[in-house]
Chains A and B, each alone.
Chain A
Amino acid sequence: MTALLQDLRYGVRTMARDRAFTVVAILTLAFALGANTAIFTVVNAILLRPLPFDKPEQILRVSTQNTINGSIDPVLSHPNIEDLRTQSRSLDSVGVWVRTSSFFWEGDEPVHATGSLLSTDMFRVLRAKPLLGRTFTPADDRAGAPPLILLSYDTWQRIFHRDPTVVGRVIRFGTGNKRRTIVGVMPQGFVFPIEADCHDFWTPFHAEMDAVDLSHRDALFIEALARLKDGATIDQARAEAEVLGRRIEALYPAEATGFRYHIVPFHEQLVEGVRPALLLLLGAVALVLLIGCANVANLLLARAAGRRREIAIRSAVGATRGRIVVQLLVESVLLAVIAGACGVLLASWGLEVLKAFAPAEIPRLDTISLDLGVLAFTLALSVLTGVVFGLAPALAASKTNLNETLKEGTRGSTEGKVRNRIRNILVTAAIALSLVLLVGAGLLLRSFMRVTGVNPGFDFQSTALVEVSARQAVYDTPAKEDAYTMRVVDAMRRLPGVRSAGAVDMLPLDRNERTWAFQIIGQPPPPLGQEPSATTSVVTPDYFRTMSIPLLRGRDVSNRDLTNTPFVIMVNETFARRWFANQNPIGRKLLLRSDEGDQEHEIIGVVGDVHYHDLTRDPAPMLYLAVRQHPQRHMHYIVQTANAATIGPTLRGVVRQIDHEQPVLDVRTMADVRGQSLATRRFNMILLGVLSALALILAAVGIYSLMSYTVTQRTSEIGIRMALGAGTADVFRLIVGNALKLVGIGVVVGVGAALAATRLMSTLLFGVGASDPATFAAICITIAAVALVASWVPARRAARVDPLVAIRYD
């Protein structure tokens, strides 16, 4: 213990003496450890930390699996959920929810809020207890029960100002004048659904669904969670569900052909979308740390050369090699722990930035924070780091030739090859590792550029929109909904500077989708369960013109397409090509199997494709219905104007002018919508880009340090060479050539490693292969250029060596 304290004291003194070394080493490690701490914090919060419910491992996510096409749909029908709930013996409870949105009122001002309808059983699944009042009872969750609402902690704080007497209060809720009683407030940190930002309030599922026909097995719109009974396993639940699914398929072939339950642990399902990117980032920061370790090890090796005499004296007075190694390791661990503390500070700032820019799709973002577990991780990592980067230099330094060193021998030949080998290997490794990271970032950047280069099929630069859900209390019939929609579109079309106006219910690239099955009249009906389906949107006349989606054949929907005229439909190019090949689809008829029943529609036009779901996916077949035949309450009103970025307030004003109580859900430009669809991809790219830049800087510092040290170490040799006739250019070439030789080896090793590593990220790429030659070439050139710059200054210093002085240099 005394020896350890002595070593620590000496370590502190050494650090204070070699300030430049200490600062560079601590900064290098602090950035590397900080990046690791930040990313581990995110991984810990999202992937590792259990869900904030009692026995979270018992909670399962239940979805619909279609065995015919292999697809998995996160939603189920109510009868299929009920069958599982009542017949499974391994499940304790099955809860359901449907996302929704509505309005609280602060005086006359509506406040938009998002929430969900929850079944009573959901509280049993989650084992969640309220902070105030109670959750829903079975009596609350039935048709005809009085309307109730449960508040989130945030809503209670934001809208009800933490009023402790809020339970029992009757409030105005929604766009009509309906009243609703507050039954409770959930505690801080209770967030459900976890994966979506819609947890301001909860209302009872069955009471709200009173008017909805839940009996159809093919009406998939409800999400479900289940909890295992104590002692039951997920395999038992899956086996039961498999038997039940087969039985349902056999009993209801018209509605459930190909149906199966898909059951996975809730946590696994929740994070599966972000897992690859997070693991990629975790790998990336680990590489950054390795590079940092290589750099600091190199610095330590250089410093150890200067401490050879001190170590020889220690040996001469009786220190064993092990004792010297321990002393040097104590110094390196001390350095790493101080760097770790600085890294935690950097990480806490970095996490705030990261959370601010993270896309909303990342689940459990609000739970990301530095905690004791993370701090323990950083401490352990720091100690490990200190040992990793300190071990090789300590072993090398402790192997000093006593006799030679103490004699201060002047054998007349410069330092041999072996001593330099470790340093060269470390720098080569740093270059190889940074190349792997840079290639990864380069591929993401190229992917992003490819994605942003994709033509979405519509004009996103001069279009703006306002999202409105017409008040149900006022616009309570299809005719009123239709009238409201046409009135808003007309008002917007008359705005100054607006070239065109239209509306659509499901906006492209906005993560909403509605698919309807259809049958082409005149063709043999498909087998049960294999009806084709297509994404369906409802549009006003001029929607396509406003969005600059070209009309390729036929005509647009018009104001003459009303409920008392034959139903019409438009299709996109992909739909026409897939289902009508070389035939003209105009005039052909489709039987749409919608939630409004089977309806015959005549195809009147073909429009250009748009990337509806995602810019990275090929355009899917699409159907467009006429809004005047299928009025919708929830619409996106779009204008084409040169002032898209500034017209928002005017659009909001138009909505208010028509109905001053009508809330506006959102005002955006289509460029915003497009940008939002790229947010996750952009976030991953920026994060990996920052880490790669850090890696490149560290590698450059490593090359610079090594070359500087090399010049100092080889001053005598350089002097000899100059005495023998080497010119400044020869010396310059010697140093830069040495650096480029190391870089060459590093690049070859790095390219090999990158070819293997980038295969793991192929799911994150778009339009560019994991071994894209252009990216690899660009990164190799970048690294070579950086190495050239990093070795330039030491090389210039070497070229200015005075041979006379250098020859006498000791």
Chain B
Amino acid sequence: MTESLIHLQSVNKVFYTDELETHALTNIHLEIRRGEYVSIAGPSGCGKSTLLSILGLLDAPTSGQYTLAGEHVEALNLADRARIRNRQIGFIFQAFNLIGDLTVAENVELPLGYRKLAPAERKRRVEEALGRVGMMHRAKHYPSQLSGGQQQRVAVARALAGEPAILLADEPTGNLDSKNGEAVMDLLRELHGAGSTICMVTHDPRFTRYADRTVHLFDGRVVEETHERYAEEQLADSGFAIA
């Protein structure tokens, strides 16, 4: 049994406006182990992105407990959250979110700049990350000179460069055509195969099969969990394969 990396216990998220109280997440229990590939699925507005924001420490739960790598993180101050985001979490966004003023290499180096790493070490990590996503030859280009698929590969490299405990991917194929989308999903699968822990939000059922497990959300609640990899393996053992 691999160790638990993320543990959410009775997490609730309520958004308050002047007149309304919107329950975005209700009583969420979730556990993600090291090396696991989990996808979070559900229709628009079900709370997927809110859950991912809480997992990525971009937002805090209204109540409940959040343990990341054995540390309670639900009530950290801004500086500590920034520190943990930088060291433990790698983000892959739907809109890539590269910085246009920076080259590909500088974008990948960005999270490393917020921790005191020696320049040589930063360079090594950048090259390694770009190498892993096959974008080394584009290191000196600017994002605007790349295709969408290439930009997303750079975003993945940026997430990898910090050697995070977990990669959080928010609809990573949402802005890509199907071919590029497949390529990015293949890349994530490769990373997972190499040991990365991945948590991915998607509403596209084609891509949930890449994950070990899919957590289905509806109206802010976990309504179902399926074990794709497990099912696949079971089927494979029986001489069948998932199409």
Contact = CB atoms under 8 A, between A and B. Distances in A.
Interface in B110-139: 110-111, 114-115
Contacts of A727: 78-79, 82-83, 114
Given A725-B87, A727-B79, A413 B58 contact: no
Given A411-B143, A807-B58, 8 more contacts: A410-B95, A716-B97, A717-B99, A721-B114, A725-B162, A730-B82, A803-B58, A807-B93
B59 interface: yes
A280 to B, nearest CB: 41
B142 interface: yes
Contacts of A723: 56, 58, 85, 91, 97
B80 to A, nearest CB: 9
B82 A725 contact: yes
Contact of B98 (A413, A417, A725, A726): A413
A414 B100 CA distance: 5
B175 interface: yes
- For the residues of A in contact with B, the DSSP-based class is helix
B158 interface: yes
Contact of A728 (B79, B95, B99, B101): B79
B115 A413 contact: no
A804 B114 CA distance: 19
Nearest to A412: B96
B87 to A, nearest CB: 7
A670 interface: no
A98 to B, nearest CB: 75
Q: Which of A724, A727, A807 has its CB near the most chain B CB atoms (within 10 A)?
A: A724
Given A412-B151, A804-B53, A804-B58, A725 B96 contact: no
A725 B86 contact: yes
B97 A807 contact: yes
Contacts of A804: 53, 58-59
Contacts of A716: 97
Interface string B40-52: 0000000000000
A720 interface: yes
A804 B15 CA distance: 14
A724 B58 contact: no
Nearest to B90: A724
A416 interface: yes
A724 B151 CA distance: 17
Given A412-B148, A724-B85, A725-B82, A730 B114 contact: yes
A147 B223 CA distance: 120
A807 B53 CA distance: 11
Interface of B: 53, 56, 58-59, 78-79, 82-83, 85-87, 91, 93, 95-101, 110-111, 114-115, 142-144, 148, 151, 158, 162, 175
A725 B85 contact: yes
5 tightest Cβ-Cβ pairs between the two chains A and B: A725-B86, A412-B96, A413-B143, A412-B95, A413-B100
Nearest to B151: A412
A414 B99 contact: yes
Nearest to A724: B111
Interface in A684-743: 716-717, 719-728, 730
B83 A725 contact: yes
A618 interface: no
A804 B83 CA distance: 16
A396 B142 CA distance: 21
A415 interface: yes
B100 A726 contact: no
Given A804-B53, A807-B93, A720 B114 contact: no
Interface in A189-209: none
Nearest to B59: A804
B78 A728 contact: yes
Contacts of A728: 78-79, 82
A717 B143 CA distance: 13
Interface string A411-435: 1111111001000000000000000
Contact of B99 (A410, A720, A807): A720
A412 B97 contact: yes
A411 B83 CA distance: 28
B154 to A, nearest CB: 10
29 contacts: A412-B148, A412-B175, A413-B96, A413-B98, A413-B100, A413-B143, A413-B144, A414-B99, A416-B144, A417-B100, A417-B101, A717-B99, A720-B97, A720-B98, A721-B99, A721-B110, A721-B114, A722-B82, A724-B86, A725-B83, A725-B114, A726-B86, A726-B114, A727-B114, A728-B82, A730-B114, A804-B58, A804-B59, A807-B93
Contacts of A721: 99, 110, 114
A719 B95 CA distance: 13
Contacts of B144: 411, 413, 416
A785 to B, nearest CB: 27
A420 B85 CA distance: 30
Nearest to A417: B101
Contacts of A415: 100-101
B37 to A, nearest CB: 21
B142 A416 contact: yes
Contacts of B95: 410, 412, 807
A349 B217 CA distance: 71
A725 B90 CA distance: 10
Contacts of A725: 82-83, 85-87, 111, 114-115, 162
Contacts of A803: 58
Interface in A766-809: 803-804, 807
Contacts of A722: 82, 85
Contacts of A730: 82, 114
B158 A724 contact: yes
Contacts of A417: 100-101
Contact of B101 (A416, A719, A724, A807): A416
Nearest to A729: B79
A726 B82 contact: yes
Nearest to B161: A724
A168 B224 CA distance: 120
A417 B86 CA distance: 26
A408 to B, nearest CB: 13
Contacts of A720: 93, 97-99, 110
A425 to B, nearest CB: 16
Contacts of B96: 411-413
A727 B56 CA distance: 15
Nearest to A416: B100
B129 to A, nearest CB: 13
A123 B98 CA distance: 83
Contact of A410 (B143, B158, B175): B175
Contacts of B85: 722-725
Nearest to B88: A725
Nearest to A810: B95
Contacts of B158: 724
Contacts of B87: 725
A717 B99 CA distance: 6
Contacts of B86: 724-726
Contacts of B83: 725, 727
A730 B82 CA distance: 10
B114 A412 contact: no
A411 B98 CA distance: 9
Contacts of B148: 411-412
A410 B176 CA distance: 11
B98 A724 contact: no
Nearest to B58: A804
Nearest to B159: A724
Nearest to B142: A416
Nearest to A799: B78
A718 to B, nearest CB: 10
Contacts of B162: 724-725
Interface in A452-489: none
B168 to A, nearest CB: 10
A412 B142 CA distance: 12
A416 B101 CA distance: 5
Contacts of A719: 97
A725 B58 CA distance: 10
